Amino acid sequence: MSQTENGFNYREIITKAVCGKGRKFSETTHTITPAHKPSSILGCWIINHKYSAEKKGENVEVKGSYDINVWFSYNKNTKTDVATQTVTYTDVIALSMRDENVLSAEMDVIARAVQQPNTLEATISKNGANVEVQVEREFIVECIGETKVAVAVNPDGLLEEFTEDDYVDEVSDEEYENLDPNFLHKEFEN
């Protein structure tokens, strides 16, 4: 422990913490080749999204796959069919926030799809035989690693005892009416 001028001692604690963060939005166009020449696109949806992530140098690499299903008409709009194709992708996400004081190079990586793969547009290609599907997706990644933090230790213990009554917080009807229901939403948009 080390002493400072304010009389507190400090203790160093090794703990796991978020040591890196990143976010990436991607748009990709996939070409689907149906069994029949399409006359029109009736619908397009994406299912079975799977992904994994690992740290690669200063970035996180997210590898995944999903199935694209295109419902289309053919034979001059007299018949319909569904073309299904599994596609793979790799998104390299730069860590915009990095803690340089990480104790170990080994880190756990958490990746979360904040925007699951979603069809923006499906159109018949210029050659008339394929369907071009524009897809968007977005990921947030966090790297969890060991780091050291310093915690102030009061040699006298707690300054005062707290009871359950100390945590009661009454809200008046007037205060309740003045609450902004979009407060948290506004905070998380930034």
pLDDT in tens, 163-187: 666 666 677 777 767 777 666 554 4
The three-state (H, E, C) secondary structure of 34-72, written as one string: CCCCEEEEEEEEEEEEEEEEEEECCEEEEEEEEEEEEEE
Handedness of CA 163, 164, 165, 166 (dihedral sign): positive
Average pLDDT, the chain: 85
Model confidence band, residue 8 (pLDDT cutoffs 50, 70, 90)? low
Tell me the pTM. 0.70
Domain extent listing, the chain: 13-162
| Residues 94-122 pLDDT 10s | 988 877 777 777 889 999 999 999 999 99
